[in-house]
Amino acid sequence: METSILFIQLLNGLQLGILLFLLSAGLTLTFGIMDFVNLAHGALYMLGAFFCATLTLYTGSFILAVLLAIPLTALAGFILEKLVVQHLYDRDHLDHVLATFGLILCIDTMVHIIWGPEGMAIPLPDFLNSQVELLPGIVFPTFRLLIIAIGLIAAAGLYILVNHTRLGMLIRAGASNRTMVGALGVDIRTLFSGVFALGAALAGLAGMLIAPITEASIGMGSDIIITTFVVIIIGGVGSMKGAFLAALIIGLIDTFGRSFLDDIFKLVMSSEAAETAAPAVSAMLIYILMAVILAFRPQGLFPPLTR
Amino acid sequence: MKKLLTSATVAAALTLGTQAVNAADQVKIGFITTLTTGAASIGKDQENAVNLALEHIDNTMGGKPVELIMADDGFKPEVGKQATDKLVKQDDVDFVAGYIWSHVLLASRKSVLDSGKFLISANAGPSPVAGKLCHENFFSTSWQNDQTPMAMGETLNKKGVKSLYVMAPNYAAGKDMVAGVERTFKGEIVGKDLTKWGKDAQLDFSAELAKAKASGAEGIFVFYPGKAAGAFIKQYEQAGLKDSLPLYTVFTIDSLSLPKLKEGGMKSVLGSSMTQFWSPDLDVPANNKFVADFREKYGNYPSFYAAQAYDSIMLIKSAVDSVDGNLDDMDGMRAAMQKADFPSIRGEFSYGNNHMPIQNFYSRTVVEDEDGNWTTQIDQVVLENHQDVYASECTL
């Protein structure tokens, strides 16, 4: 019994981590590589969820809706970059924060006007709404397995894109010296627009994957963006590998904290005190980890090699 | 110097005088609810109910027109308190009503009560305001938080459930709900999770559901109001727990979440059990009128939030009517409200010493109505004329 729940919580942690990775990958591209602080990243995550919910209603197929909503979210990101973000690259970080915070308010209100305040549920097809028995006695929701699979595929795709393609080379080059790459005849503006759109698509994908579990709702992006920043700080700003590993670490710590902390506390204190303390401490765990890392290894666990 | 003082006093008296005249022309009601964030759908439902109530009474109380000021608490205690301060100080309202959230009410109550105005809770019922912090100018048109889960504990005893897993958000009301069910449930509570709440509330319950399943409990009791309800039910369904771990809820499945659950095909809620002081199908004249008109005007079943908001306006009307619109007669209005003499959607009830309703609680089941809408149906009375347990701590 004990080992089976341990295994299930491991999968749950992995699934949360994968989701955080999809979000932090986009943030790593914009923050780490383009040096742009994008608080509105969470708004794109929300937009992805709402696009997907609407398309699911119209097409009747969740899978088709996801395939259509990904380019749609990328397009939204592209437009956002052209309209607002592009003008901010030369400004300092405070301006980025102010402008993108304004964007959050605008996008939240726009969603409120278009979709109403109540949020949207996404119905899943039956084969995803079921459970699979992985090992005897270990039953896991199919959809959560799908999240893990899609996240791993996206991670592999990003790794290949950034490290082993010409486009990835240009992105990395543009990040370390924008002027020089521009002088070599590369259209750096379009390149950055594309990268921003890619980040938007990844955030949108995360929104689409979580919405069938928690529903699409206003402010869902602001709820998760802080955790996403924690991930990239722990992983090392600008490092895709760091974002991946840190996302998994955070996902596992958060899940295990929620699962087992009260039992652990009960060993050393009264069960009443444990019941009060455990939820408070488990909500703080990832921030405690971030504080420790900032104190002893401010560059993060896996900082990029060339910075 | 003396002259200056005199003129200042006169000026102050004049300003106060004009204010009093302005205020006396109409009955000013401030209504605090949540109009933004994911919980805005609750606020919208309450706003609809308040507007319907004002329509039903021709916007008149004690012969005076009513001015309604809606305010948003943003689902945050500090924002709710600011909005309350504005209503009390700047708008100088006569009544402050509303409050969905216990933590918002607890943060805001002092602003209203210290200024000598009436505070009507149309939802939140945290234990302090029913007990030690009770106040002569505070009234509730809802319930004390513990009562509904206490009714659930009784329901579970009647159904013969022996072991229970408990989940609730980690804030004032969540703790009250857990305390309530623990007070009456006679079986064993085999596990308990209090999850993160507030603006960045936890909505992914994978870890908790896995624990609940492993605990081998005979049922799961949850309290997840607002958007967390949809999230919880979906994951409960996806985890396939309907048969192994029957669902018992309070303030989780309501007329706001049911249409969405239906849309999402969450069939596992059908047949699940809950308790409440009211239900859309409660056969009381005032309720039949309220539900029928609400459905006609807004197209959906009213939620209990809406029902309580409707009652709060009716309670205020009974007070203002009794003193013929003389809003300075606080004692008269207070005495009128204590009688609970108005057509309530819950039928006849009375007020306890702490101004919390003494009322029936029913067990209800989620069913599909004849038009295919998902709604709830009353099974039986579980607690009759029930008074909350904190009333004895109140010195009124």
pLDDT tens digits, one per residue of B157-206? 999 999 999 999 998 889 989 999 999 999 999 999 999 887 678 888 98
Contact A214 B195 (CB under 8 A): no
Give the number of domains in chain B.
Answer: 2
pTM, rounded to two decimals: 0.82
Q: Minimal CA–CA distance to B246: which of B258, B236, B261?
A: B236
Which residues on adjacent β-strands are paired with residue A174?
none
Give me the mean pLDDT over the B74-102 stretch: 95
A25 Cα to chain B: minimum distance (Å): 21
3-state helix vs strand vs coil in chain A, percent to 5: 80, 5, 20
Measured between its terminal Cα atoms, the distance across chain A in Å is 48
Judgement on whether residues B158 and B199 belong to the same structural domain of the protein = yes
Closest chain A C-alpha to B158 CA, distance in angstroms: 27
* Pairwise CB contact (< 8 Å): A5 & B214: yes
The model's confidence at residue A162, banded by pLDDT at 50, 70 and 90, is confident
Range(s) of the domain holding residue B189: 147-276+362-393
Q: Which of B257, B297, B249, B258 is nearest to B276 (CA)?
A: B249
Contact A162, A168 (CB under 8 A): yes
Q: How many angstroms separate the first and last alpha carbons of chain B? A: 46
Whole-number Å distance between alpha carbons of B80 and B85: 9
Complete edge-to-edge strand list for the sheet that includes strand B118-121: B60-61, B64-72, B27-33, B95-98, B118-121, B138-140
Tokens of A286: 């990832």
Instruction: Find out whether B39 and B124 touch, Cβ atoms under 8 Å.
Output: no
Residues B167 and B236 in one domain: yes
Residues B260 and B386 in one domain: yes
Host H or E run for residue A17: helix A2-27
Structure tokens at B344: 């309530």
In DSSP terms, which residues pair with B119 in a beta bridge?
A: B96, B138
- The mean of the pLDDT values for chain A is 89
Q: In this predicted structure, what is the pLDDT of residue A123?
A: 85
B234 contacts A121? CB cut-off 8 A: yes
Architecture label for domain A8-122+148-296: Orthogonal Bundle (1.10)
- Subunit contact B260:A224, Cβ cutoff 8 A: no
> CA-to-CA distance for A148 and A160, rounded, in angstroms?
19
Q: Per the CB < 8 Å rule, is A141 touching B240?
A: yes
Q: Quick one: pLDDT at residue A307?
A: 45
Q: With bands split at pLDDT 50, 70 and 90, how would you rate the model's confidence at A258?
A: confident
Whether residue B230 and residue A122 make contact (CB cut-off 8 A), yes or no, is no
Which residue out of A213, A264, A286 would a mutagenesis test of the B interface target, given it has the greatest number of B Cβ atoms within 10 Å? A213
| ipTM of the modeled complex | 0.80
The minimal CB distance from B210 to the residues A8, A130, A223 is found for A8
B272 and B368 assigned to the same domain: yes
* Partner residue facing A214 (CB), from B193, B195, B204: B204
Of the pLDDT bands very low, low, confident and very high (cuts 50, 70, 90), residue A223 is: confident
Which one is predicted more confidently, A272 or B288? B288
Query: What crossing angle do the helices spanning A271-296 and A240-268 adopt, rounded to 10°?
Result: 150
Which tops the pLDDT comparison, B19 or B383?
B383
Say what the pLDDT of residue B21 is: 45
Residue type, A226: I
Among B199, B214, B227, the residue with its CB nearest the CB of A215 is B227
Question: Domain ranges in chain A?
Answer: 8-122+148-296
**Best A7, A107, A258, A276 residue to mutate vs chain B (most B CBs within 10 Å):** A258
Backbone angles phi, psi at B77, to 5 degrees: -60, -45
The pLDDT, as a whole number, for residue B3 is: 52
Structure tokens at B18: 């004009």
Do B369 and B250 fall within a single domain?
A: yes
Q: Are strands B64-72 and B95-98 parallel, antiparallel or unpaired?
A: unpaired
- The two three-digit tokens of residue A42, written as one number: 């969470």
Assign residue B50 the CATH number of its domain: 3.40.50.2300
The answer to whether the CB of B362 falls within 8 A of the CB of B143 is no
B287-346 tens-digit pLDDT: 999 999 999 999 989 999 999 999 999 999 999 999 999 999 999 999 999 999 999 999
* Pairing label, strands B350-351, B357-368: antiparallel
- Residue B66: beta bridge partners? B27
Closest approach of A293 to chain B, Cα-based (Å):
23
Q: Determine the Cα–Cα distance for residues B216 and B231; give it in Å rounded to an integer.
A: 23
In angstroms, the Cα distances linking B16 to A205, A237, B21 are: 59, 60, 9
Residues B247 and B291 in one domain: no
Report the pLDDT value the prediction gives residue B22, as an integer from 0 to 100: 52
- Is the same domain home to B132 and B239? no
Interface test with B, best of A19, A217, A229, A261 (most B CBs within 10 A): A217
| A15-24 pLDDT, tens digit each | 999 999 999 9
Residue B52, burial from CB neighbour count under 10 angstroms (0-12, 13-18, 19+): buried
The secondary structure of A60-117 as a DSSP string is S-HHHHHHHHHHHHHHHHHHHHHHTGGGGTTS-HHHHHHHHHHHHHHHHHHHHHHH-T
Token pair in block for residue B108: 């805001």
Choosing among B35, B46, B188, B238, which should be mutated to test the A contact, i.e. which has the most A CBs within 10 A? Answer: B238
Question: B234: nearest CA in chain A?
Answer: A213
DSSP for B208-257 reads HHHHHHHHT-SEEEE---THHHHHHHHHHHHTT-TTTS-EEESSSS-TTH
Q: What is the pLDDT of residues A39-70, one digit of tens each?
A: 999 999 999 999 999 999 999 899 999 999 99
| Cβ-based neighbours of B256, under 8 Å, separated by 6 or more | A118, B41, B42, B45, B303, B305
